[in-house]
Amino acid sequence: MIDHSHDPSMERELDGNALAGMLETLFGSDMTAVPGRCAHCSTVNMVGAMRAYTGGPGAVLRCPACDEVVLRLVVTAEATYLDARGAAYLRLSRR
Amino acid sequence: MASPIAWRIATVGTIRDETPTVRSFTLGLPDWPGHRPGQHVDLRLTAEDGYSVERSYSIASEPERRGEIDLTVERIEDGEVSAFLHDVVEPGDRLEVRGPIGGYFVWEAPLGGPLLLVAGGSGVVPLMAILRHRRRTGSHVPTRLLSSSRHAEEIIYRDELDALAAAGDGLEVIHTLTRSQPTGWAGYARRIDDRMLAEVLEPLGVSARVYICGPTALVEVAANAMVRLGLPPDRVRTERFGPTGT
Amino acid sequence: MTERFVTRGFVGRRTQPGAGDVRDRIPPGQYLTTDFPVLSAGPTPRTPLDRWSFTIQGLVREPATWTWDQFMALENQEWVVDISCVTKWTKLDMRWRGVSVDTLLERVELDPTAAFVVAYSDGGYTTNLPLGDVLNGQAFVAWEYDGKPLAPEHGGPARLVVPARYFWKSAKWVRGLRVQAEDEPGFWETLGYHNRGDQWLEERYSGD
């Protein structure tokens, strides 16, 4: 995990738990316990453990191992845009 | 049947001060489907002109309490929602909530232990749901809560934690007070760091399940320490609260 | 349509747009703020000044690059402008110091086919603008806010500022402009946000 503990601006950094409601609205079930594989570094982390940047035009989830973007989301009045190119996969359990 | 993520109207019941800046609200929700310890709700406030804000709050109460949930909210200076909850909300008021939400930061008794819970300030809230649930199920899994507060007067749930720890069912509560300590204090008196975590974890061992919740800085320090101490990443669950009073 | 539930006693902290004589300065749909919210898409980059540079490249005869010291030596001025973020906050009379993009473009010779710029930043963020939107005093690169060096969480060492557009076009941690013949939608423009972002026309989302 990249160590952000020394970075004073990381106070505003949240994690995938902060997007749980939005993601569940989108996918229909909890997404925080869903493992995702980072397309950049291939590390697998649950969405809840990914670093989240929110409050701006959209939400960005980044890999805790390499800081690259895994998921991006924008919610407009009409639609939700999801860019999942940064995720090599998301593993949604059927159980 | 309401979908699990639909908005519901809750009725505020009892309001209780936990500390000078932290308050608990019991919300009556007769059709509440139940929840898992560690989950949260989204709360939405809407003004007459349609302006609305949302915040997430961890559920403090155990799922064994049916038909109502507790939220414990710290009043953040300049906090738009927390100031409203503290200053305006009264018993009988109705609030919109959505949930229960979350599946990652969850512990239920069948998961077993040993269990290490690490809390910074109001990060103790979801961990309290876990401890209350643990007590209700009669679980004896070896459990330690390491809780960081600035001053003794700011320890949230202090009396209840003392009582849980005195029950003799394998729970120990360890406090660290980072800014001031009462006379005769023999406990930790500094911010959570690697050495403290290693000491607290030691009797539980590296097979422990770890839940860390609090301000982002504390969560980062603790999670990094767990990795360095050799715990598998999927046994360490984190929830960052962002800037808080601590 | 379902009635929206209204929370008793909740007003919210924003100032109504109709407040006093500043009403005309607040674009449609915006609320006035006195804060300076910090909103990011990623961790704050921390480029040391001795490794910082700014470059104009792309459809120019020769790229131009400035080190920090060279950048500081450029003709610069104070700018007092109003800023609007697409998340609905507007802040009036923000005071910056920086160099006009006109001054930077004077150092290069633009190809006749040059029509767009892409501003690119440390951390990978990009945003796009028509060349015409950054000329004639409409855009500057700022390194001071409110008389003090621009803080990293607000985009320091230097950021682009384009006051006539929603603030996502004012790229934080900017390191250069790439001049192009083709438009190239940036980080938010590729995910539902308006390609141009004029806050007076309320160009928030693509399709607006």
Do B122 and B173 share a domain, yes or no?
A: yes
Check whether B106 has a pLDDT greater than 70.
yes
Could you say which of B101, B130, B150 is where a domain stops?
B101
Q: Could you tell me if residue B170 is left (phi over 0), alpha (psi between -120 and 50 degrees) or otherwise beta?
A: left
Residue B165 structure tokens: 């720890």
Residues of A with CB under 8 A from a CB of C: 4, 7, 9-10, 12-13, 51, 53, 55-58, 60, 62, 67, 69, 72-74, 76-79, 81, 83
Strand duo C89-100 + C77-84: pairing: antiparallel
Is the separation of the CB atoms in A14 and B220 below 8 Å? no
Q: What is the distance between the alpha carbons of residues B89 and B91, in angstroms, rounded to a whole number?
A: 7
- How confident is the model at residue B246, as a pLDDT? 43
Do B159 and B189 share a domain, yes or no?
A: yes
Count how many Cα atoms sit within 13 Å of the Cα of residue B106 in the half-sphere of its side chain: 20
Helix (H) or strand (E) holding A24: helix A20-27
Beta strands in A16-92 (DSSP E): 35-38, 44-46, 51-53, 59-62, 69-75, 80-83, 87-90
Q: From C54, C52, C63, select the one nearest C108 (Cα to Cα).
A: C63
Query: Which CATH number characterizes residue B22's domain?
Result: 2.40.30.10
Check whether C62 has a pLDDT greater than 60.
yes
- Residue B19: give the domain boundaries: 7-101
Kindly give, in sequence order, each residue whose CB lies less than 8 Å from that of residue B24, ignoring residues fewer than 6 positions away. B14, B15, B16, B17, B18, B60, B70, B71, B72, B73
Q: Could you tell me if residue C175 is left (phi over 0), alpha (psi between -120 and 50 degrees) or otherwise beta?
A: alpha
Residue in C5, C13, C14 closest to B46 by CB: C5
Query: Which band of pLDDT confidence, cut at 50, 70 and 90, is reported for residue B49?
Result: confident
Mean pLDDT of A13-31: 94
Query: Which CATH number characterizes residue B159's domain?
Result: 3.40.50.80
Mean pLDDT of B78-83: 89
Q: What is the distance between the alpha carbons of residues B40 and C149, in angstroms, rounded to a whole number?
A: 40
Q: What is the distance between the alpha carbons of residues A52 and B205, in angstroms, rounded to a whole number?
A: 30
Stated pTM of the model: 0.93
| Nearest chain A residue (CA) to B227 | A1
Q: Domain coordinates of chain C in residue numbers?
A: 50-78+95-191
Domain contains B144 = yes
Do B228 and B169 share a domain, yes or no?
A: yes
Given an 8 Å threshold on Cβ–Cβ distance, is A13 in contact with C188?
no
Q: Does domain C50-78+95-191 have CATH number 3.40.50.10490?
A: no
User: What is the share, in percent, of chain C residues with pLDDT greater than 90?
Assistant: 84
- How confident is the model at residue C5, as a pLDDT? 94
Domain contains B1 = no
Kindly give, in sequence order, each residue whose CB lies less than 8 Å from that of residue B23, ignoring residues fewer than 6 positions away. B15, B16, B17, B72, B73, B75, B85, B86
DSSP structure string for A70-81:
EEEEEE-SS-EE
Check whether C1 has a pLDDT greater than 70.
no
- Identify the DSSP state of C196: S
Could you say which of B58, B82, B101 is where a domain stops?
B101
Given an 8 Å threshold on Cβ–Cβ distance, is B104 in contact with A49?
yes
C184 C-beta neighbours (distance < 10 Å), count: 14
Do B209 and B156 share a domain, yes or no?
A: yes
Mean pLDDT of C140-162: 97
- How confident is the model at residue B3, as a pLDDT? 55
Domain contains B206 = yes
- How confident is the model at residue A3, as a pLDDT? 86
Check whether C162 has a pLDDT greater than 90.
yes
Given an 8 Å threshold on Cβ–Cβ distance, is C192 in contact with A9?
no
Do B230 and B155 share a domain, yes or no?
A: yes
The mean pLDDT value of chain A amounts to: 93
Domain contains B246 = no
Judged by a CB distance cut-off of 8 A, whether residue B224 touches chain A is: yes
Given an 8 Å threshold on Cβ–Cβ distance, is B216 in contact with A14?
yes
Q: Measured on CA atoms in the order B221, B227, B232, B233, is the torsion positive or negative?
A: positive
Strand duo B209-214 + B236-240: pairing: parallel
- How confident is the model at residue C207, as a pLDDT? 85
For A54-85, the pLDDT digits (tens) are: 978 999 999 999 999 999 999 998 899 999 99
Could you say which of B101, B130, B146 is where a domain stops?
B101
C200 min Cα distance to partner chain B (Å): 20
Query: Which band of pLDDT confidence, cut at 50, 70 and 90, is reported for residue A7?
Result: confident
- How confident is the model at residue B2, as a pLDDT? 44
Query: Which band of pLDDT confidence, cut at 50, 70 and 90, is reported for residue C16?
Result: low
Check whether B100 has a pLDDT greater than 50.
yes
Mean pLDDT of A24-33: 94
Check whether B94 has a pLDDT greater than 90.
yes
DSSP structure string for B108-167:
-GGG---EEEEEEGGGHHHHHHHHHHHHHTT----EEEEEEESSGGG-TTHHHHHHHHTT
Do B235 and B117 share a domain, yes or no?
A: yes
User: What is the share, in percent, of chain B residues with pLDDT greater than 70?
Assistant: 97
A91-95, B230-234, C182-186 — most confident range: C182-186
Do B50 and B136 share a domain, yes or no?
A: no
Query: Which band of pLDDT confidence, cut at 50, 70 and 90, is reported for residue A86?
Result: very high
User: What is the share, in percent, of chain B residues with pLDDT greater than 90?
Assistant: 91
- How confident is the model at residue B242, as a pLDDT? 77
- Identify the DSSP state of C23: G
Given an 8 Å threshold on Cβ–Cβ distance, is A74 in contact with C192?
yes
Domain contains B51 = yes
Count how many Cα atoms sit within 13 Å of the Cα of residue B78 in the half-sphere of its side chain: 7
Given an 8 Å threshold on Cβ–Cβ distance, is A57 in contact with C87?
yes
Beta strands in chain B (DSSP E): 7-19, 22-28, 40-46, 52-58, 68-74, 94-101, 115-120, 143-149, 171-177, 209-214, 236-240
Residue in A10, A13, A58 closest to C188 by CB: A58
Question: Cα dist. A70→A16, A58, A83, B68, B181 in Å?
Answer: 11, 14, 8, 37, 43
ipTM of model over 0.90:
yes
Mean pLDDT of C132-139: 98
Residue in A4, A9, A76 closest to C153 by CB: A9
Do B94 and B148 share a domain, yes or no?
A: no
Mean pLDDT of C144-148: 98
Query: Which band of pLDDT confidence, cut at 50, 70 and 90, is reported for residue A1?
Result: confident
Check whether B1 has a pLDDT greater than 50.
no
Mean pLDDT of C111-117: 98
Residue B62 structure tokens: 């155990």
Do B84 and B153 share a domain, yes or no?
A: no
Do B154 and B82 share a domain, yes or no?
A: no
Residue to test with chain A: of C4, C35, C40, most A Cβ within 10 A: C40
Q: What is the distance between the alpha carbons of residues A51 and A36, in angstroms, rounded to a whole number?
A: 13
Number of domains within chain B: 2
Do B60 and B43 share a domain, yes or no?
A: yes
